[in-house]
């Protein structure tokens, strides 16, 4: 059992929990995810790690209550426990394994959208601990939906907050601020990391392609069971079939076929859609556990 040490409601539908998970806290790296399961019958919920404390042995997760399972999860309180809390899973962010001298030479721009702001935090924290201050754009629909602002102030270089309705910070979508920074402020970035809803990551990539700005995206939103077996997170990257939960979650955004991934995401929600994908994609519709036959 994995005890919830702290629970905080960040917005009407977004919740933050600090969970005791010593083994994961000891070895996890930015970019990786965990799978939470409330009880034996509960669904597996893959969530990118939002923070970790190696000494206290805790992992912080942030999630939006949007379905039956995440809604149930939001009703758990400090003192309650998860039945399973598995991880760390997936590949760490590229800069963690790249030579640090190379990473230090790069100018990073992070683009964090909505609840996808949370997984950006361990990345900029890791960079700051290694002497690198990244510029960050946080985008949210309204002022009430901006999360983790104080934490970001601590770890980012320049922080730009933008709201779709202009109720806080700059007005407009994250792409407007990217354009402003590059075209008007004449900022030169070497790498952009965009984490948020699929539609945001698609439009960030369309824009950064025009600037020849390499862009990494995190495809956590298309994961379902996080095991490489359900097939939900199958995605074409540079013409090759990949699975976000095994090969990712982070990929070169300029090579991701977003339209196909978003169409599959919609189809995967119904039984009929899943049967269609299975018929269309054959054995490659899932991650190839080898047990189907």
DSSP letter assigned to residue 41: T
Q: Whole-angstrom Cα distance, residue 247 to residue 241?
A: 10
Is 213 or 237 the residue whose CB approaches ligand FES more closely? 237
Among 226, 251, 261, 285, binds ligand FES (CB under 6 A): 226
239-244-248 Cα angle (round to 5): 95
Q: Which stretch binds ligand NAD (CB under 6 A): 71-79, 81-89, 108-116, 273-281?
A: 108-116
Position with the least CB separation from ligand NAD: 114
- Shortest Å, Cβ 262 to ligand NAD: 10
Q: Whole-angstrom Cα distance, residue 18 to residue 60?
A: 4
Residues 208-247 that bind ligand NAD (CB under 6 A): 218, 220-221
Residues 158-177 that bind ligand NAD (CB under 6 A): 164, 173-175
42 sits near ligand FES (criterion: CB under 6 A): no
- Partner touching 174 among ligand NAD, ligand FES, none, CB below 5 to 8 Å by kind: ligand NAD
Asked whether the CA dihedral 71, 72, 78, 81 is positive or negative, the reply is negative
CB of 21 within 8 A of CB of 85? yes
The residues, ordered by sequence, that sit 6+ positions from 147 with a Cβ below 8 Å of its Cβ are: 10, 11, 14, 62, 115, 117, 118, 140
Supply 65's token pair: 């209550």
Is 178 or 233 the residue whose CB approaches ligand FES more closely? 233
Is 3 or 44 the residue whose CB approaches ligand FES more closely? 44
Reduced DSSP (H G I as helix, E B as strand, rest coil) percent helix, strand, coil of the chain, to 5: 35, 30, 35
- Per CB under 6 A, residues contacting ligand NAD are 48, 64, 113-116, 119, 139-141, 164, 173-175, 195-197, 199-200, 203, 218, 220-221
- Per CB under 6 A, residues contacting ligand FES are 223-233, 243-245, 287
């Amino acid at each position: 059992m994995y005890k919830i040490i702290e629970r905080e409601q960040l917005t009407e539908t977004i919740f933050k929990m600090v969970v005791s998970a010593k083994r994961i806290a000891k070895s996890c790296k930015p970019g990786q995810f965990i799978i939470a399961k409330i009880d034996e019958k509960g669904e597996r919920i893959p969530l990118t790690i939002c923070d970790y404390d190696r000494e206290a042995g805790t992992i912080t997760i942030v999630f939006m209550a949007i379905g039956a399972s995440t809604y149930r999860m939001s009703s758990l309180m400090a003192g309650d426990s998860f039945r399973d809390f598995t991880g760390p899973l997936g590949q760490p962010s590229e800069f963690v394994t790249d030579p640090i001298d190379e990473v230090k030479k790069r100018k990073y721009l992070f683009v964090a959208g909505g609840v996808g702001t949370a997984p950006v935090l361990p990345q900029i924290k890791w960079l700051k601990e290694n002497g690198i201050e990244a510029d960050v754009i946080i985008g949210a629909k309204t002022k009430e939906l901006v999360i983790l602002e104080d934490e970001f102030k601590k770890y980012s270089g320049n922080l730009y907050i933008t709201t779709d309705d202009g109720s806080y910070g700059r007005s407009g979508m994250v792409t407007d601020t990217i354009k402003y920074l590059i075209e008007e402020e004449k900022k030169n970035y070497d790498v952009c990391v965009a984490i948020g809803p699929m539609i945001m990551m698609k439009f960030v990539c369309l824009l950064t392609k025009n600037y020849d700005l390499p862009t990494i995206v995190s495809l956590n939103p298309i994961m379902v069971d996080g095991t490489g077996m359900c097939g939900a997170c199958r995605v074409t990257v540079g013409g090759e079939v990949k699975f976000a939960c095994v090969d990712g979650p982070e990929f070169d955004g300029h090579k991701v076929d977003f339209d196909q991934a978003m169409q599959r995401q919609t189809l995967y929600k119904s039984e009929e859609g899943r049967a269609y994908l299975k018929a269309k994609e054959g054995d490659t519709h899932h991650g190839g556990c080898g047990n189907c036959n």
